[in-house]
Amino acid sequence: MFLLYSLLTHIASFALKIVALFSPKIRLFVQGRKNVFEVLAQNISPADKTMWFHAASLGEYEQGLPIMEKMRQLHPNHKIVLTFFSPSGYEIRKNTKTADVVVYLPLDTLANAKKFVALVHPSMAFFIKYEFWPNYLNELKKHNTPTYLISGLFRPNQAFFKWYGGFYREAFKAFNHFFVQYDSSKQLLASIGFTNVTISGDTRYDRVSEILNRDNNLPFIEEFINGKTTVVLGSSWPKDEALILPFINASVDVKFIIAPHTLGEDHINDIKNRLTKSTVLFSEKEGKNLAEYSVLIVNTIGILGKIYSYADVAYVGGGFGTAGLHNILEPAAFGVPIIIGPNHQKFPEAVALVQMGGVIAVKDKTEMEDALSSLIYNDDYRWETGHTAGTFVSMNRGAVNIIMNHISNDADHL
C-alpha cells in the first residue's frame, strides 16, 4: 500500500508542475520545494539537536506557535525546524524568529521522507491539527522519534474511520500522543483503537489571549478613528465586500477599516473605486490628516491583530465563500462583537459563539445590514455581544499547560 501511495504522490507531483505553468499559487508550491534539502543541509549539521514542527498553513502555525515558544524556552540549544504545506502559510511566516529553519515540506514520497528525516534528525516531532503524511510518520516511527498531534480535530467522514482507512490507521501508530480539541475526536480515535489521547482544547485560545498583554498601539489608527464608532472588516473577500460596501456608502458618522484578504493592486483599486466615502490607503497615509477620512484600506499584512483592538464591531471574512472562515478568535479576545457569513459549520469556535450570542451569522445583504446597524447604534447590545465573545475565549484557555505538562516527561531526555 505504501508503494501505491508513493506512486500516486509522484504522479501528483508531475501534475502539479504542469498546473504551475498556469497558477501563480501552485507555482509557489512547486518552486518553493526545489531547494528544501539544500537549505536543510546548509543549516543543520549532524551534531545539531532539533525539533520539527509541521503546519499545513497559517492557521495551524498559530495553533502550534505557543508550543514552539515554550519548547524554545525549555530547550534553547535545540534548533526548531518549521515546515509548511501551503504557500499561504510559508510566504507569510518564512521569516519568523520562532524557528531556526523554515521550509516547505517536500511531497510525501518514500525517498523524500527518508532524506528529510535523516537531514533534520528531530528529537521530537509535532504535527498541528491535521496533515497526516504516512511516509513521514512511518519514517519517524522507524527512528523512534517521539511524535505528537497538537490541537487535533477529527470528523466521522474522514478516511481514518472508514473501512478503507487501514493505511492511515497504521500511520497513526507513529504518534506517541494525540492532543485533541474535543471529546468527539477522542471517541473517534477510540473507535479505531487509539487510547493515547488527551482532550487539551485548542491552543489558539492561549495564543490569542496573549495578544491582550502586548503593545497593540497603532497611533495612525487612533488618528484615523478620532473617537468615532469603528467597524473593522478583517480578511474580507470580494463576496463579503459586495455585501458591505453599499452599507459603508450609506453610513453616517462611522469609521470603517478594511483589511482585504487579497492585496493585489487591482483588487485594492476596485474596492476604492466602489466607495463613495472619503478613502485612504495604508500605503498613502503619510502626510495626510487621517481624521478627515471615513474609510481606511489596509493594503499590508501583519497588523490586523492590533487593529482589532480598536474595533467596536468586526466583520470577519470567508463565510460567504468556500475557502474557509478566517480567524474570529483575535477580535473575540478583545471582546469585540463579530459578524460572519453562513459557511462556518466546519469551525467549532464559530458554531459555539453563534449559539452563545457572541457572533452573529448572516446569510444575505439584508441580514448583514441589520446586524451592522444593531451593533453600531445599540450600545447595550454591542457590549453584551462583545462581552460574550471575550468571555468565551477566556473560558477556553489552558491547552498549552495541559500539553506541556504531558510532554515535559518525554522531553527530559533531550
Q: Is the predicted pLDDT of residue 344 greater than 70, yes or no? A: yes
Task: Give the pLDDT band (50/70/90) at residue 79.
Answer: very high
Task: Report the alpha-carbon distance of residue 268 to residue 178 in Å, rounded.
Answer: 42
Tell me if 326 is assigned to some domain.
Answer: yes
pLDDT at 389: 97
Tell me the one-letter amino acid at 78. Answer: H
- CA quadruple 222, 225, 227, 232: dihedral positive or negative? negative
Q: Is the predicted pLDDT of residue 2 greater than 70, yes or no? A: no
Tell me if 306 is assigned to some domain.
Answer: yes
Q: Which domain holds residue 315?
A: 213-393
Task: Report the alpha-carbon distance of residue 75 to residue 118 in Å, rounded.
Answer: 21
Tell me if 1 is assigned to some domain.
Answer: no
Tell me if 366 is assigned to some domain.
Answer: yes
pTM over 0.85: no
Task: Give the pLDDT band (50/70/90) at residue 1.
Answer: low
Helices (H) and strands (E) in the chain, counts: 19, 14
Tell me if 4 is assigned to some domain.
Answer: no
Torsions phi, psi for 319 (to 5 deg): -80, -5
Share of the chain above pLDDT 70, in %: 96
Same domain, 188 and 140: yes
Same domain, 139 and 221: no
Tell me if 352 is assigned to some domain.
Answer: yes
Same domain, 389 and 402: no
CATH of the domain at 190: 3.40.50.11720
Same domain, 180 and 288: no
Same domain, 230 and 336: yes
Same domain, 177 and 269: no
pLDDT at 20: 66
Tell me if 13 is assigned to some domain.
Answer: no
Q: Is the predicted pLDDT of residue 85 greater than 70, yes or no? A: yes
Catalytic residue of the set 60, 139, 330, 349: 60
Task: Give the pLDDT band (50/70/90) at residue 53.
Answer: very high
pLDDT at 414: 63
CB atoms within 10 A of CB 294: 20
Instruction: Quote the mean pLDDT of the chain.
Output: 92
DSSP string covering 66-115: HHHHHHHHH-TTSEEEEEESSHHHHHHHTT-SS-SEEEEPPP--HHHHHH
Same domain, 189 and 227: no
- CA quadruple 60, 66, 72, 78: dihedral positive or negative? negative
Name the domain count of the chain: 2
Range with the poorest average pLDDT among 117-121, 167-171, 330-334, 378-382: 167-171
pLDDT at 42: 96
pLDDT tens per residue, range 17-39: 777 677 777 777 777 788 999 99
Same domain, 36 and 97: yes
pLDDT tens per residue, range 153-166: 999 999 889 888 88
79: Cβ contacts below 8 Å, ≥ 6 apart: 43, 44, 48, 49, 50, 51, 100, 101
Same domain, 231 and 175: no
Section 172-200 average pLDDT? 96
Catalytic residue status for 62: no
Same domain, 278 and 346: yes
Q: Is the predicted pLDDT of residue 78 greater than 80, yes or no? A: yes
CB atoms within 10 A of CB 130: 14
CATH of the domain at 316: 3.40.50.2000
Tell me if 15 is assigned to some domain.
Answer: no
Same domain, 136 and 266: no
Q: Is the predicted pLDDT of residue 13 greater than 80, yes or no? A: no
Section 378-388 average pLDDT? 97
Same domain, 228 and 190: no
